[in-house]
């Protein structure tokens, strides 16, 4: 197997598994009675922006739809975490 294929397989595997890494953060944000105090808007916002930049790079520079879809999925999960955090903090403030 060529090095290019090995690195592609590693990239695909890691980014596919990363989707599952978001689930504990989503759960923590949704269930935290203190308004998701452990979730950082700055960190997750930066993750979101970098994923969107990678989507643009994949489409414009690489013409790689699969890579763009992969990082769009990551961006979607970051957006979900941020939205749940906003909602959880609003509920905690009103309680």
> Model confidence at 1, in pLDDT bands (50, 70, 90)?
confident
What would the pLDDT profile of 7-60 be if each residue is shown by its tens digit? 988 988 898 888 889 999 999 999 998 899 999 999 999 999 999 999 999 999
DSSP the chain: --HHHHHHHHHHHHHHHHHHHHHHHHHHHHH-TTSSTT--HHHHHHHHHHHHHHHHHHHHTS--HHHHHHHHHHHHHHHHHHHHHHHHHHHHHH-
What would the pLDDT profile of 53-89 be if each residue is shown by its tens digit? 999 999 999 999 989 999 999 999 999 999 999 999 9
The pLDDT of residue 81 is: 97
**Selection from 69, 22, 75, 88 nearest residue 45 by Cα:** 75
Cα(84)–Cα(54) distance, integer angstroms: 23
The predicted model scores a pTM of 0.87
Domain segments of the chain as ranges: 40-95
């Amino acid at each position: 197997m060529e090095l290019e294929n090995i690195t592609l397989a590693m990239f695909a595997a890691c980014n596919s598994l990363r989707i599952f890494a978001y689930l504990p953060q989503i759960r923590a944000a949704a269930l935290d009675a203190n308004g998701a105090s452990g979730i950082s808007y700055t960190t997750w916002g930066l993750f979101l922006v970098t994923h969107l930049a990678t989507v643009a790079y994949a489409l414009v520079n690489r013409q790689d739809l699969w890579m763009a879809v992969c990082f769009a999925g990551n961006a979607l999960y970051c957006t979900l975490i941020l939205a749940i955090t906003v909602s959880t903090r609003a509920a905690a403030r009103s309680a």
